[in-house]
Amino acid sequence: MGKQATKSAQATRTNLLNVPYGDGEGEKLDIYFPEAGSEGDSLGVSNLLQFSAIALKRKHVIVQMRRPGLEVPRSRGLCVMCKDESAFMVNPLTAQGVAVVVVAYDIAPKGSLGRMVDQVARSVAFVQKRYPCNEGIYLCGHSAGAHLAAMMLLVNWTEHGVTCNLKGFFLLSGIYDLEPLVHIFWKEPLLLTPEDAQRTSPQWLLEAAPRRPADPACHVLVIVGQYDSPEFRRQSREFYQGPHRSLAQMFSEPRTLCRGGWKASFEELQDVDHFEIVWKLTQKDYGLNQIILKTIFQDGL
């Protein structure tokens, strides 16, 4: 499914592939430009490569984190999907004038969670620097990719030398509290310790966020499938609104998006499981694509 979607995107969309955003071997990203004649197109396709920075001057950019080696579906096994298998949303979104960037980074055991978070932050900063006149950058991640996208809520972008024009986050069936995973991944490949879980759990780190988004209208959408496993459903809802708890616990347990003052919403997509929620992004009429496009173009008004 992913390979077919990526082959189609590469064959039918103007693109730049394997663009380095850092010096590491795995630090590459693919950029897919809006289709000629789409709502956001301002230059002909023949000019997009030569004038790519100008071509995106009036475009929205969505940055998609492909999933690293941290999947915890029914089997509790590892599912590794590379950048070259993750261009699900390219064709439906570029047809509407949205540039799509698919990011790769080092997976376990080569990459620790801390390294993955740093690589994703540097990739976002790279896109902002390359296309400084973008009308908005939106981050999208699925499963463990949603965890990495959520970690970008906590980044101090001045440390990366940019002010990122972040307009929205699409967090699909994500993991936001890593503590329950410690007993699964305390051995290879992640060597996840309780300390690592605390340092890289956006659910807990929101309390220490250095600042709110520069744009107070930045929208965080937490999305889960109707047939996702109970743990993904629980974590998604609690990241959005917090667990049911006593008044005393509210001051000792982590903030979630709603209590932290973020502009957030929660969506449960009907009739999809953990994998179908992202596989169906290839379909232009898929409800999630409509949610993404509505959010992008309403924010752009």
Mean pLDDT of 30-55: 47
Entry pTM: 0.83
197 three-state secondary structure? helix
Report whether 61 contacts 16 (CB < 8 A): no
Mean pLDDT of 145-172: 93
Question: Rounded to whole angstroms, what are the CA distances from 271 to 58, 227, 262?
Answer: 36, 7, 28
Whether 294 has a pLDDT exceeding 60, the answer reads: yes
Rounded Cα–Cα distance for residues 227 and 216 (Å): 33
* Host H or E run for residue 231: helix 230-241
pLDDT, residue 64, reads: 73
pLDDT at 257: 84
Q: Which residues are catalytic?
A: 143, 228, 274
Nearest to 112 by CA among 193, 175, 172: 193
pLDDT of residue 190: 66
CB 286 within 8 A of CB 92: yes
Q: Which residues pair with 28 in a beta bridge?
A: 20
- Between 5-19, 32-46, 131-145, the lowest mean confidence (pLDDT) is in 32-46
Checking if the pLDDT of 279 tops 80, the result is yes
pLDDT of residue 50: 23
Residues 6+ apart with CB under 8 A from 298: none
